[in-house]
Chain A
Amino acid sequence: MIKVKNLHKKFGDLNVLNGIDEHISPGEVVVVIGPSGSGKSTFLRCLNLLEDVTEGEIYVDDQLINTPKIDINKVRQKMGMVFQQFNLFPHLTIMDNITLAPVLLKKMTKDQAVKTGHDLLKRVNLADKAQAYPAQLSGGQKQRVAIARALAMSPEIMLFDEPTSALDPEMVGEVLDVMKDLARSGMTMVIVTHEMGFAREVASRVLFVDQGVIMESGTPEEVFSNPKNERTKLFLSKVL
């Protein structure tokens, strides 16, 4: 579903990604862990080209996407993204946040989109918030709306960039629950997170990223209980 070949990313003189090769299959829940500054968020943001790629190739559904020949907007429509800072549109109601893209991009009529919106809000347990504005919601609620907004485009892949890092501790659970639910439904997911318990429980595969390369990749069991790489061991000894 996503294939990454020899991905490099530089910010000026700073090498952030130093050659990443990775293959993500449909239905996989890939959790990316690693110390801060390791390049894990940059890796995720390269997958839908929010960051332009310095070198290497990214394929989505066997289509090379980091080329000017393709319409990146079309590709992004099948890749939902959830951000650390939620990035809800504060000038729109929750319902309008959810329906904006599907209606504007002609995926649905307004009526269909509103109906889908209600279904999605029910799914993230916010059925009563359709007419509220983002400023009226708590962090956890905002992030659940952000997930619903991404799902409204019926994406094939969902990218999560530290979705719980900006939340108060008591709200982390409600967001992770929605994500677990999504994982169980068979959604292909790539998740950058510091929630090791969640990674262990939900991931089908864990990637440990450090210094801009994937140091270790395996099932949660392999990576958490039996890490082979010294850096992985060191990192896990600090966070577990």
Chain B
Amino acid sequence: MTAFQEWFTDFSNLFYKCFIREDRYKLLLEGIGVTIKVSLLAVLIGILIGMLVALCNLSKRKLIRFFGSVYTDVIRGTPSVTQLMIIYFVIFATVDLDKWIIAAIAFGINSGAYVSEIIRAGILSVDHGQTEAGRSLGLNAFQTMTRIVIPQAVKNIFPALCNEFIVLIKETAIVGYVGLMDIQKAGDFIKSATFNAFMPLFGTAVIYYILIKILTLLLRRIEIVLRKSDIR
């Protein structure tokens, strides 16, 4: 047997042991589901909170601006693991909600602080003349914001938002701390069960990589659609 054949046999045996035996791949599939579920809901919550906080930070009223800045400050100033555990074990301790939903809320709250700064920058990037044009037609401030300013802001900040989503997906790898079986936790579980670190950890890495690659390609498509109005 050549060295390569030997290595290949070892590798496939290891692969079999880690992913196929005892249906261990199912753990990972389940983990992918959890990661996707948590990330998607967290992104939605993050955008919603981000928009609200951005509007607070741009408000003319001092008190509202104060609330906005405290939110951003506290969330950015503490680790996301700590936040996740506080939200899971303290705030939602007695609330009967699915684990993954609580986790998504925690990540959404965290992401909201970062998204709010991105959105604030985006809104400021839209020329004030746009707001004036909207208001001069008789639209109220809210209609002007939602129909004229935000759509343009979104186009400007889309790459930064994509970046934030990608960071968020990887950030969810800590949900194991509150007992959710995501991709990372599944890999970890297989590592403990098989006493092998190499295969499950690299497997985990590859799965994350592929997920994010797919997302990146999708987002790039969306960006092209958003840039439709730039054709000259």
CB nearest neighbor in B for A137: B232
Binds B, one of A53-61, A69-77, A111-119, A178-186: A69-77
Write out the residue numbers on chain A whose beta carbons fall within 8 Å of the beta carbon of B139. Answer: 73, 101, 104-105
Complex alpha-carbon distance, A173 and B96, angstroms = 70
- Is residue B137 contacting chain A, with contact meaning CB distance below 8 A? yes
Write out the residue numbers on chain A whose beta carbons fall within 8 Å of the beta carbon of B230. Answer: 133, 135
Q: A149–B132 contact, CB under 8 A?
A: no
Q: Which of B132, B228, B229, B232 contacts A87, CB < 8 Å?
A: B132
Binds B, one of A28-36, A89-97, A191-199, A200-208: A89-97
Interface residue range, chain B: 20 to 34
Chain B 106-138 near chain A by CB (<8 Å), digits 1 or 0: 000000000000000000000101101111111
How many chain A residues touch B (CB < 8 A): the figure is: 30
Write out the residue numbers on chain B whose beta carbons fall within 8 Å of the beta carbon of A74. Answer: 138
Q: B138–A91 contact, CB under 8 A?
A: no
Q: Which of B136, B147, B148, B229 contacts A81, CB < 8 Å?
A: B136
In the complex, which residues 195-232 of chain B have their Cβ closer than 8 Å to any Cβ of chain A? 228-232
Write out the residue numbers on chain A whose beta carbons fall within 8 Å of the beta carbon of B129. Answer: 83, 85, 87
Q: B135–A76 contact, CB under 8 A?
A: yes
CB nearest neighbor in B for A152: B137
Smallest CB separation, A70 vs chain B (Å): 13
CB nearest neighbor in A for B140: A73
Q: Which of B130, B140, B232 contacts A89, CB < 8 Å?
A: B130
Smallest CB separation, A76 vs chain B (Å): 4
Write out the residue numbers on chain B whose beta carbons fall within 8 Å of the beta carbon of A136. Answer: 231-232
CB nearest neighbor in A for B152: A91
Q: A153–B147 contact, CB under 8 A?
A: no
- Is residue B143 contacting chain A, with contact meaning CB distance below 8 A? yes
Q: B136–A76 contact, CB under 8 A?
A: yes
Q: B231–A90 contact, CB under 8 A?
A: no
Complex alpha-carbon distance, A50 and B147, angstroms = 19
Q: B132–A83 contact, CB under 8 A?
A: yes
Q: B136–A73 contact, CB under 8 A?
A: no
Complex alpha-carbon distance, A90 and B133, angstroms = 12
Smallest CB separation, B151 vs chain A (Å): 5
Q: A104–B136 contact, CB under 8 A?
A: no
Q: A104–B143 contact, CB under 8 A?
A: yes
- Is residue A46 contacting chain B, with contact meaning CB distance below 8 A? no
Q: A50–B137 contact, CB under 8 A?
A: no
Complex alpha-carbon distance, A136 and B151, angstroms = 19
Q: B137–A150 contact, CB under 8 A?
A: yes
In the complex, which residues 100-137 of chain A have their Cβ closer than 8 Å to any Cβ of chain B? 100-101, 104-105, 133-136
Smallest CB separation, A65 vs chain B (Å): 13
Q: B137–A77 contact, CB under 8 A?
A: yes
Write out the residue numbers on chain A whose beta carbons fall within 8 Å of the beta carbon of B229. Answer: 90-93, 133-135
Binding site for B on A (CB under 8 A): 48, 50, 73-74, 76-77, 79-81, 83, 85, 87-93, 100-101, 104-105, 133-136, 146, 149-150, 153
22 contacts across the A-B interface (CB closer than 8 A): A50-B132, A73-B135, A74-B138, A76-B135, A76-B136, A76-B138, A80-B137, A81-B137, A87-B129, A87-B132, A89-B130, A89-B133, A91-B152, A101-B137, A101-B139, A133-B230, A135-B231, A146-B133, A150-B136, A150-B137, A153-B137, A153-B138
Binding site for A on B (CB under 8 A): 127, 129-130, 132-140, 143, 147-148, 151-152, 155, 228-232
